[in-house]
Amino acid sequence: MLPKKNTRPTVVVLMAEQKGDRDQILPLTRNVLQLFSYLEDSAQIKIDIRRYPWRRVLHNGENGEGLIFGIYKTPARLKSFHFSEPVYSDKVWLLSRCEDNLQFNSIQDLKGKKIGIVQGSSAGEEFDSQVNVIFKAEYNTSSLAGRFLKLYQKRMDAFLLYEPRTNLKELQKELNQLYASEIDEYKKKKNDIFCILPRPVSVIDAYFAISLQADKTQLNKIDKVLLQAKKSGDLDRLFAK
């Protein structure tokens, strides 16, 4: 009689999709893939990644489809979800047209501006509280290419970019190469069309989360690994830029 295979439990992880210039879903970053591989090995689990528009991620997570990854804590979400230990810190940047010379030192600097926001997302309590108060929201989809096009067409003054990397010069160059490549002005002069403002709107911890009604067994297992990885320095290394 053959011995039974030691099958790992499958953990469904829900994530936001990002779409490129041909409406294709962009691949996960190297850091996230490294993290999931680390969790699979350390927690002896198999991760099943499912990517949707962010509002659907929240809806499906609340209804028990799986764990949400990359979610921020808000007072409203604490009423619906259990949260893990912090996994990494995301920086929320403003991305604008370079020619506009938009300045950002405080929320007041956005007075009267139209800012692109993905529906259902959060950029911290201070920013969230001023949506359609100090500045007007331009609600966007998961298409990053669509947001760049809207920005170039001056249908908004800036949009939020969630990115843990802090090398803004390198990141800005990369984004312009990807999303300004077909713009005549960029083709001729190679000057950046889009600029990342140097001060982040906020720095927010990102977590795993699961519905309050769901079984926390796998979340607890992941939490244990995260605590050990933080203590050993492995977590910092996984997200090193």
Q: Are residues 32 and 136 in the same domain?
A: no
Does some domain include residue 4?
no
pLDDT for 21: 66
pLDDT for 2: 53
pLDDT for 4: 53
Q: Are residues 151 and 228 in the same domain?
A: no
Query: Count of domains in the chain?
Result: 2
Please list the alpha-helical segments (H only) found in the chain: 30-43, 54-62, 125-129, 144-152, 168-179, 184-189, 217-232, 234-238
CA 238 to CA 38: how far, in whole Å?
9
SS3 195: strand
CA 27 to CA 121: how far, in whole Å?
20
Q: Are residues 18 and 105 in the same domain?
A: no
Q: Are residues 183 and 95 in the same domain?
A: yes
CB half-sphere exposure, 159, CA atoms < 13 A: 27
The range of the structural domain enclosing residue 101 comes to 90-202
Does some domain include residue 47?
yes
Backbone CA torsion sign across 149, 99, 180, 123: negative
Q: Are residues 67 and 78 in the same domain?
A: yes
* Mean pLDDT by groups of 10 residues along the chain of 241 residues: 68 89 79 93 95 93 96 92 92 95 94 92 89 93 85 96 84 90 83 94 94 94 95 87 59
Does some domain include residue 180?
yes
Q: Which residues contact 180 (CB under 8 A, 6 or more apart)?
A: 148, 152, 186, 192, 193, 194
Prediction pTM value: 0.74
Which tokens hold the place of 195? 């600029």
Does some domain include residue 96?
yes
pLDDT for 62: 96
Please report, for the domain that includes residue 96, its CATH number: 3.40.190.10
Q: Are residues 210 and 197 in the same domain?
A: no
Does some domain include residue 2?
no
